[in-house]
Amino acid sequence: MGPGDPKALRVLGGVPILVHALRALRDVGVIVVAAPADGVAGVEALLAEYGVDYASLSVVAGGATRRESVANALRSLPPDVDTVLVHDAARALTPVEVVERVAAAVRGGEQAVIPALPVVDTIKSVEAYEGDAARVTATVDRSRLRAVQTPQGFRRDVLDKAHAEASGDVTDDAGMVEVLGIPVTVVPGHPEAFKITTPFDLVLAEAVLARREATSA
């Protein structure tokens, strides 16, 4: 959850997106939420209100960028934690199986692991043309492309090193690890791990949630 980003607090099925995301992480281990620097107490109160009272959970002040927020959370982890997952609360409906798959791959020896899905649409590369329009420069071979989700998983020393050497803002921790020449492994993601950002995404999220409730009822 980036500084000042209210998306994680948007309500989905009566519950803030952040709370949905934390429920899927419940059994994973220590959880650190990076909140806007002036929003730590507010987030703590919100989590209490929704019964998210895991003993293993803490809220820390994020930084000015997404990367600094992750770095702050990373610094607050207990010393004995050696596998770290970085999750985006906007992927609130990420199934537990995805979280477990990423964690298991890191614990099984991979240094960096990301969940991802094949790209289903035809993909073109473009250049600017006129107004909203663009011109196609090429049809991209999509068979080797993957759309990346979260949580991204790392051996702690690898993520520490990546953050120590990174500069600027980065939207993807795995990208910082790639820069170090460390292999990043891709495991299957899940359609329900999509990022909830637009009103269209919220419609989809409500539908997924309704189906889950119908299935579990």
Of 78, 122, 181, 216, which lies in the binding site for a copy of itself, with binding defined by CB under 8 A?
122
Q: Which residue's entry shows tokens 């099925």?
A: 13
- Supply the minimum distance, in Å, between the C-beta of residue 88 and a copy of itself: 10
What tokens were used for 84? Answer: 């770290």
**What is the number of residues in the chain?**
217
Distance, C-alpha 41 to centroid of its chain: 22
What is the per-residue burial (b if ≥16 Cβ within 10 Å, else e) of 74-95? Answer: beebeeeeebbbbbbbbbbbbb
Closest CA to 19 of 55, 40, 47, 61: 47
Interface with a copy of itself, residue 116, by CB under 8 A: yes
Of 6, 107, 139, 169, which lies in the binding site for a copy of itself, with binding defined by CB under 8 A?
139
Of 10, 23, 26, 146, which lies in the binding site for a copy of itself, with binding defined by CB under 8 A?
146
> Which CB, 23 or 190, lies closer to a copy of itself?
190
Q: Pattern of binders to a copy of itself over 190-209, x per CB under 8 A?
A: -xx--x-xx-x--xx-xxx-
Q: Pattern of binders to a copy of itself over 91-110, x per CB under 8 A?
A: --------------x-----
